[in-house]
Amino acid sequence: MTSLFDPFTVRGVTARNRLWTSPMCQYSVLDHSGVPQQWHLVHLGSIAAGGSGIVFTEATAVSPEGRISPRDTGIWTDEQAGAWRPIVDFVASQGAVPGIQLAHAGRKASSWPAWGFEDRTGSVPVAEGGWPTVAPSAEAFGDLDVPGALDLAGIEKIVDDFRAGARRAVDAGFRILELHAAHGYLLHQFLSPLANHREDEYGGSLENRARLLLRIVAAVREEVGDGVPLFVRFSGSDWTPGGWDEQQTATVAGWAQEAGADFFDISSGGIQTGIRIPLGPGYQVPFAEHVRASAEVDVSAVGLITTPQQAADIVESGAADAVMLAREILRDPHFPLRAAHELGVDIDYWPAQYLRAQWRR
C-alpha cells in the first residue's frame, strides 16, 4: 500500500488522494470574454473522471487587466461565475474537489497566447484586444510593454478584486481557492526583490514585499469564512542570486498561514527572462521539502513528476503532503487511475464506464 492514495482533509474538505491537478493555462476563450467554454468542461471534466483528488482551473483572472492573455478565463463577472457552475458541478460529480486559482498577471499580462500566435512578440496591442499593464514598479518583463507602477489606490483595487473573485468563485461552487503568487505574476512581482523596487510600505523589507499578499489572504479569508480551504502557490526560487528563495518562501508561508491560508503549492521561477533552470525529474521537490520543514506547513510539490512510483516516493518520504501534476496529466488525464493500477492499490472511484480497464485480464 502507498500513502499516495490516502485522503487529505483541509477545513473539512477532503481530497480522495494526494494526486492533484495543477493549474494549467488553456488559452481557449476565443471571444476574449473571460467566460469558460465547452473546452474547459471537457478538459477539466476528463481529468476529474481520471481520478485526481483536486482539479484546479487554469490561472483565472480577478480583473480584465489581470489576464495573462486575452484568451484567459476570468471570475470578475457574474456571467463568468455562472459559466463556471456546470463545470464545477461535473468535476464534483466525478468525485474530485473543484478548485480555482485566482490570479493577476501584473506586468506579464496582455501577452500573446502560447499557441496560435508563434510569430507575434511583445505585448498585444490595444487595437487587437490588449491593454495597459500594472506592476509594483515600472519595469518591463522581457520585451513586453513597460507597466504602470501601482499607486496606493491601485493596490486597494487589487485587494478588492481578489476578494470579489473569491466570493464569486465560492458562489459558483468551487470548494478550494488558490492565490497565484508564483511564476513572475503580480503577487510574485511584489514578493521578489528582482521586480519590486518600491520605496513605500510595499517595497524594501521582506515584511513590506509580502504585505500585499498577506492583505489579500486576510481579505479572502474574511470574505469566504472558515469553511473554505485557501492555498497559495509560491515560486520557491527565482533561480538567480539576490532573488526570491526558499527561505523567504518559508517565512512568508508562515505569515500567510497566520493570516488565514492553509496549504502551500511550491513551484519555482518565472520572474525574469534569460535565467537557466537546471531541469530534471522532481527538480522543484527540494523547495517544497524545505518550506514544509522550515515553516511547519502543509505543501505540495510539482515539476517533472511523471511516474506513479516517483509520486509515491515524494509523499512517503515526507518531502511533500501531495503532488501536483501538470504536463503528465495533459499526456494522460487518467494518470491517477493508472497509478493505482501500477502500484497495486484498489480504489473505489474508477468510473463505471472504465471498470473493464481496472485490471488486466
Assigned C-alpha cell, 28: 481557449
Which helix (H) or strand (E) element contains residue 290?
Answer: helix 285-295
151 in Cβ contact with 91 (< 8 Å): no
Which residue pairs, CB below 8 angstroms and at least 24 apart, start in 205-209? 206/248, 206/251, 206/252
| Dihedral pair phi/psi, residue 275, rounded to 5° | -90, 130
3 state DSSP class of 11 = coil
Is 349 an annotated catalytic residue? no
Amino acid at 189: Q
3 state DSSP class of 196 = coil
The distance in angstroms from the start CA to the end CA of the chain is 22
d(CA 46, CA 35): 19
d(CA 45, CA 333): 10
Q: Which of 185, 202, 283, 349 is catalytic?
A: 185
Residue 360's CB: how many other CB atoms inside 10 A? Answer: 5
The catalytic site residues sit at 185
